Structure 1
Amino acid sequence: MKPYQLYIERAGATKNVARYYAISMEPTLFGEACLIRRWGRIGAGGQRLVHHFEYEEEAVGLFLQLLRQKRLRGYRPKSTA
C-alpha cells in the first residue's frame, strides 16, 4: 500500500473563513488501511478522525469521496504565493 496525503484550504477575507482539511492514508501495523482526517481553523490544532478498513479499495473510495465534497465546498491546494 502506498501512503497518500492531501492538504487543502478554504480562505476568504470577506466571510472571515480560514479552514484547512488534511487527509492521509497509511498502512497499519497489521497491514490494514488507515485513513486519517484532520480539519479546523488554519493555525489551530483542529480535530482528528481515524478510519480503519480491511481493504485498501474501501479507504481509497472514502478518500476520493471526501476530496470531491471538499472541492465542491471551495477547498483548494495551499497557494505558494
Structure 2
Amino acid sequence: MKTLYLEKSVPSRNCQRYYRLDLSPDLFGRWVLCRAWGRIGRRACEMRESFPERSTALVALRRLYRQKRRRGYN
C-alpha cells in the first residue's frame, strides 16, 4: 500500500486544499488507485480507478502526483 498526501495553501486567496492518493491491492488481484480531494477540514470527494497490474497503477499515480505538484501542491 502506498499513500501520498499533498496540500496547497494560499492565504491571500483563502485557498486551503488537499489531495490524497492511495494505491492498494483489492481482493481480486487488481490494484486500486483512490483519489480524495477537497478543502482542508471538509468532507472529501473521492474517485477510484482499478488497474490490472501494479506497474500501470504506479504510472497513473506518478502522473497525478506530478500534475498536482505543478499546480502548487506540496
TM range (shorter): over 0.9
Aligned length: 74
2 CA distance for matches of 1:26 and 1:42? 24
2 CA distance for matches of 1:16 and 1:52? 34
Q: Which has a greater percent of helix?
A: 2
Aligned to 2:55: 57
Moved over 3 A (4+): none
CA RMSD of aligned residues (A): 0.5
Q: Does 1:42 align with 2:40?
A: yes
Extract unaligned runs of 5+ from structure 1.
Answer: 77-81
Extract unaligned runs of 5+ from structure 2.
Answer: none
% identity of equivalent residues: 38
For residue 67 of structure 1, report the CA deviation from its aligned partner.
0.3
